[in-house]
């Protein structure tokens, strides 16, 4: 079981939790924000939730959590776990993370790390 799945299994609070995950492939540590729905702490370990993975987590996780929470509250979608993956550094690191190899975006090189 991965550390993130283990952590989700052990959590018993509806609040947000923050984890750091070391990536051997990237050679970096990433901050991961996990937002649990209100019913998470009241349900048994066999309950499963859909997961929304959000890139640019430091910028858009809160909007996704708020929007999905309101949609679930009004029965328009199921409750979800939102996992926000934060970028490291500024726009240069974002370009590295999200640009496929062989492509240049905004003057970046054609050897970015989007394939990792």
Please give the order of strands across the beta sheet that includes 81-85. 16-23, 28-35, 81-85, 51-55
Whether the per-residue pLDDT at 80 is higher than 90: the answer is: yes
Q: What is the pLDDT of residues 84-105, one digit of tens each?
A: 988 877 666 777 777 776 766 6
pLDDT at res. 1: 43
Yes or no: say if 20 and 31 are a contact pair by the CB < 8 Å rule. Answer: yes
User: What does the block give as tokens for 53?
Assistant: 């993975």
Which tens digit of pLDDT belongs to each residue from 51-63? Answer: 999 988 888 888 9
């Amino acid at each position: 079981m991965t550390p993130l799945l283990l952590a989700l299994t052990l959590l018993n609070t509806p609040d947000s939790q923050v984890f750091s995950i070391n990536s051997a492939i990237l050679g970096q540590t990433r901050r991961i924000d996990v937002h649990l729905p209100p019913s998470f702490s009241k349900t048994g370990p066999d309950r499963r939730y859909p997961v929304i993975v959000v890139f640019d987590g430091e910028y858009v996780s809160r909007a996704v959590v708020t929007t999905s929470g309101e949609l679930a509250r009004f029965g328009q979608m199921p409750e979800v776990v939102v996992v926000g993956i934060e970028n490291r550094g500024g726009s240069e690191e974002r370009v590295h993370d999200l640009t496929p190899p062989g492509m240049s975006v905004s003057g970046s090189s054609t050897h970015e790390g989007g394939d990792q």
